[in-house]
A and B are shown apart, each in its own frame.
Chain A
């Protein structure tokens, strides 16, 4: 009888407490225990409901559309007539339910559009862009990260250098440049044709510049995963590259991907707001929360809410996504408090980040 002196992994691995629970249900339980994160997840869903309700509110309460102007019209409030836009060009302030829900938050500018309706439709655009770009970015980043990390060699070099270059661009500035040139003339690549006002243009701009932020960390993770035994075992059993990348490595990236996806929605919504705010994103007459702030800032002195309300909506959405993302990270990757001897190389990994390029 002899004892293998190194059954280290088995001794160090944290045993599951209550028996048969899988890692996902454990993570779900940990997340649910995080009250703050759950509360903000609920807030996020409320915001989504709010923007989804836009047509209902527009048709049944406000009786107008997001881009409809009411400059020369009057509103009956408590039997008294009021200008939607007065002679000095000042839009009417919030009416709440005084006019049966019309101009609930007042009018947006001298164009006299219903601020509440625009807020709801604008939110749709902002969220739509945020989520779409996050989906595309994450998918692209995962594919690039897998290819670079798995094949290494020249494929990795090409991908990594491209990402480095994109990473080192002044993102907003180049984003503005690209957004503007595209907004003027639209885009035409082969059969694909987009007009200047298309929402796809800000989506493309955002995707191009945010891919490296996810692809780089994923590539790093793939690099280290592909040295692991289970990958080598799969290769030894004759699994092809696709099978290894998507069957073996990808599932191990799931928690990273989920966290990044959540945080990327938040980040991209801020990016969209920035672009739109500067006129290089969503083009009029479409609204997004970013374009609404641009309009509102001009009237800051007299009608501060026109800038503050859409700004607050962005903040609440981004805040809830950030907190949910953080909560997910904690739930999916609780720093194992048990490993005392297994952290060699932490600093070295960080150091290698600097030597890029």
Chain B
């Protein structure tokens, strides 16, 4: 196990390095304009551009520029230019909103996704399965930027059941926290509910054909036990990996759009506002921290996966 963890952590460091290089390339090499101009934003003054050029050392060699960027990111010196505020502080301030949104939504989508997938697989081919499959495909196909406007318009503006979002800290007022988050949670979860239920269903149908399920039946186990202890348990193993990839990707993806649509003052909203003002340091900061977070979650999940699947843990299979 220790060897597995070490190997996994080494892999993670390599990926982090690669990610940082990609971000560096995106901001410092790809652009066809003066990067200082880019950093300064749309309506910048020549004075600002000049000072940014010095601050980032754009006349140095590329490796030096890379080091400068990494130093800025890790020492928290990243600042936005209009107004001049520390990017790190802004991000930290918004973490609770982003985490409340994504963790809450993840709980909802895991619960419903797995429940629906399980029911669907148990009744494979029946009308319930068809109905749930239709529901799942629809869920996968509805973009958040359709769900959110529809929910907002009807439930918030017309019927006034839910407040017009914005984030209320949990510590300030738990019930407000909850009522402000319900619509965003649903919005974010619907897609994944559809997706997870499909994946679990097809995993279960695969596992049902496994020899060891036949063995379990031949032992005289009850159908319920065969389904839960053998079919479901083994079908969940790949779901864990999926969740790892997906949770990080959701926080760094759909959650951004959701925050924007519901004006939840989270990291995603911060990044989008920066994008719209062409303010690059916040985008850079959010991107690289986001990437680190995603990679970190993936590594955690792989280690958890190894716990669930003894073959990986004991290093027999797994080298792809």
Residues of A within 8 A of B (CB): 160, 164-165, 167-174, 176-178, 180-182, 184-188, 193, 266, 270, 273-274, 277-280, 290, 293, 296-297, 300-301, 304, 307-308, 311-312, 314-315, 318-319, 322-323, 326, 343, 346-348, 350-357
Contact = CB atoms under 8 A, between A and B. Distances in A.
Contacts of A182: 30-31
17 contacts: A169-B22, A172-B252, A181-B280, A184-B31, A184-B33, A185-B31, A185-B37, A187-B32, A266-B141, A270-B143, A279-B275, A293-B145, A300-B149, A351-B311, A352-B320, A353-B238, A357-B11
Contacts, number: 210
Given A279-B275, A351-B311, A357-B11, A177 B26 contact: yes
Contact of B287 (A170, A184, A318): A170
| Majority SS at the chain B contact face | helix
B149 A296 contact: yes
Contacts of A168: 15, 19, 245, 291, 294-295, 298
B143 to A, nearest CB: 5
Contacts of B272: 176, 278-279
Interface residues on B, range: 35 or more
B99 interface: no
B140 interface: yes
Given A170-B249, A307-B145, A308-B149, A357 B15 contact: yes
Nearest to A274: B257
A277 B145 contact: yes
A278 B260 contact: yes
B191 to A, nearest CB: 9
Contacts of B23: 174, 177
Most buried by A among B149, B234, B295, B319: B149
A180 B281 CA distance: 12
B38 A173 contact: no
Given A315-B142, A323-B137, A165 B26 contact: no
Nearest to A223: B320
B75 interface: no
Nearest to A160: B320
A188 to B, nearest CB: 4
Nearest to A172: B253
Nearest to B255: A172
Contact of A315 (B146, B210, B280, B295): B146
Interface string B274-294: 011010100110110011011
Interface string B249-277: 10111101100110000000001100110
Given A181-B30, A351-B309, A308 B260 contact: no
Contacts of A293: 145-146, 149
B31 A354 contact: no
B52 interface: no
Given A164-B15, A301-B157, A181 B38 contact: yes
Interface string B66-83: 000000000000000000
B318 interface: yes
A322 B140 contact: yes
B259 to A, nearest CB: 11
B167 interface: no
A186 B260 contact: no
A307 B252 contact: no
A174 B27 CA distance: 11
A169 B141 contact: no
Contacts of A188: 32
Given A164-B15, A278-B275, A178 B26 contact: yes
B152 interface: yes
Interface string B10-30: 011011001100110011001
